[in-house]
Amino acid sequence: TCADGGILALYEVTRWIPTYQQIVIERDELLQRRAEWEEERKELKELREMRERWAEERNELIARMDQIRASYAVTPPPVDEPLSARTSGTERLPIPSVDDMGTQSSGGCELLELTGLFPLSGAH
């Protein structure tokens, strides 16, 4: 009869309700995960853009520092005479002598060659 058919149809529908509820729960979880991933992706994109801006700014600052260093760099004027011709190699520099107390004496100074070392024995 018609009533039996209607009851069977309702029974069939009610039997699938827990399955549909589980599908809805899983769908909602997937939608939530998708929203979280989209938010993370947005944050990562912002961080990447920030890192790129920082790299550009860093490169600009380095270029400015190089320009400043170049502007302060002191280059000696060109000399027609080579260095070896300007120095004889036997020039001596006055070195103040130091007495036994470790203080500089007002008197005698020794002259050492420009490339020489302190003598191992004797006064300086």
- Render each residue's pLDDT in the chain as its tens digit; 124 residues: 778 888 898 888 899 999 999 999 999 999 999 999 999 999 999 999 999 999 999 999 999 999 888 887 766 556 666 655 555 555 555 555 555 444 444 444 444 444 455 555 555 4
Q: Is 108 helix (H, G, I), strand (E, B) or coil?
A: strand
CB 114 within 8 A of CB 87: yes
CA distance 58 to 12: 69
- pTM above 0.75? no
